[in-house]
Each structure stands twice: as C-alpha cells, then as structure tokens.
C-alpha cells in the first residue's frame, strides 16, 4: 500500500530512479506528479521498474511540449520496464496534451515488456498512451482508450536518428483497443519501424483521417538505402477499426 502524491521537478515529478531496480506493487499509488523535462510521475535513468499487483501510476503530466506524461524511460540508458499487473492511467504529455507519449515514453535502447495490467487513457499530440523509439514486447494485458491529436492513439513508433535502430512492437498476446487519432487510431508505424502481430487483438480504433486501427508510414532513405515500415501478421486479429479514408 502507500501513496506518493503530487510533486514537481524537472525530471520525475513524483519519483526519479537512477540505475536501481524498483517494484511498485500491492495497492501502492503514485499520482499527479508534474515534470518540466519528462516523466510527470516517474523518470527511469537505467535500471528496471516493475509495476505489479493492483498498483496504480496515474494522472502524471508534463509542461510545455515535453514527453512522457506519466513515465519516461531515459534514452540510451538501457532502462527496462515490466508491466505485470496494475494500472497506468491518465497521463497527459504537455500543456493541452501538446507533447509526445501521454502515459509512457520509451527511449531508444530501452525496453517495455507488458505481461498484464492496463495502460489506459493517455493524452498527447502523438502516442496517446505510448510513444516509442525503443522496443516494446506485449505478451498480455490491455492498452486502451489513448487519444492523440495526430499520430497513434494508443501507440506511436518512431525512428530516432539514422544511427539508432528504429522502434519495434511485438504483440504475442493481450489487447490494444479503443484508441483515437488523426492517423492510426490504435497504432502508428513511423519511418522504418516494425510491428509484428503473432497473437492478441488490435481492435476498434478510430482515425479522423487514415488508418482506423493501424497507420503505416512512408518509406525513408537511410544511408543511401530506401527503408520501409514493416507490418507482419502471423496470428491474432485486427478488427473493427474505422477511418475517414480507410
């Protein structure tokens, strides 16, 4: 049990973890932190954070156009996050949700593994629930009801630079559902990114322009080679999306 409520900082309004292994479990709550440079609730600089049981991380926000309303996994640090249970909810990136990655920012060379629990109700310009430059592996749980003004209501994948590998999302199980955005109601693939659906369900996304469930972005030239976004569907289902233009 226990609660960490409020707090304001540049990094990690409620909690900053530097190269530690942190577990937020039981009925613990971290809520309503505000950060001006990332991670309204939690900022992870290396190490591992695990959310389990009935724990909640909720209501974090960032100012300006800063990313990672609830949680920020620092780029290049090798940080890891495991969601085994609990709920991460209501993150808001930037003033008027004008930043990136409403609930979780996954930096390059970091990994988010979801085995259970919920990530829900995030708001951002892009990546309503999650924005990723790194690796996401989804084995279970639910990502739902994210809202993005432009790209990726639930999940938006990015290529950081030509020297860092593009983001990947592997769905082995679980559900991604109910996201809304301009492009990619549930999932948006940015330049050169890869989504592999080997199980689970992607459903009921809404896009005001293109890609009710999934929007696949354009090719990009990298070191003289044309690189394409990759969507691989070997199992699972994609169903029920709606968009103005497909």
pTM, whole model, 2 decimals? 0.97
At CA 125, angle to CA 143 and CA 182, rounded to 5? 80
| Residue 97: pLDDT band with limits 50, 70, 90 | confident
**Residue 222: pLDDT over 80:** no
pLDDT at 84: 98
- Average of per-residue pLDDT across 62-79: 96
Which is it for strands 142-144 and 118-120: parallel, antiparallel or unpaired?
parallel
* Structure confidence at residue 216 as a pLDDT band (50, 70, 90): very high
- Cβ within 8 Å of residue 238, ≥6 positions away: 197, 201, 202, 203, 213, 214
Tracing tokens 């609830």 back to the chain, one arrives at 70
């Amino acid at each position: 049990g226990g609660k960490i409520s409020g707090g304001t900082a540049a990094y990690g309004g409620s909690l900053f973890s530097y190269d530690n292994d942190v577990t937020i479990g039981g009925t613990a709550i971290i809520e309503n932190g505000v950060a001006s440079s990332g991670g309204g609730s939690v900022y992870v600089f290396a190490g591992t954070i695990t959310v389990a049981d009935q724990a909640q991380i909720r209501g974090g926000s960032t100012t300006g156009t800063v990313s990672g309303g609830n949680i920020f996994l620092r780029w290049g640090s090798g940080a890891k996050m495991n969601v085994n249970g609990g709920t991460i909810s209501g993150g808001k990136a930037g003033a008027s949700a004008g930043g990136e990655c409403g609930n979780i920012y996954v930096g390059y060379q970091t990994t988010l593994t979801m085995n259970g629990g919920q990530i829900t109700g995030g708001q951002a310009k892009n990546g309503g629930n999650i924005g990723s430059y790194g690796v996401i592996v989804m084995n279970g749980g639910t990502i739902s009801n994210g809202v993005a003004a432009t790209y990726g209501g639930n999940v938006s994948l990015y290529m950081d630079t030509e020297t860092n590998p593009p983001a990947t999302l592997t769905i082995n199980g679980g559900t991604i559902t109910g996201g809304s955005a301009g492009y990619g109601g549930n999932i948006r693939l940015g330049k050169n990114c890869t989504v592999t659906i080997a199980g689970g369900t992607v459903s009921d996304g809404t896009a005001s322009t293109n890609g009710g469930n999934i929007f696949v972005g354009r090719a990009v030239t990298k070191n003289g080679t044309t690189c394409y976004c990759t969507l691989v569907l070997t199992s699972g289902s994609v169903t029920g999306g709606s968009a103005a233009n497909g």
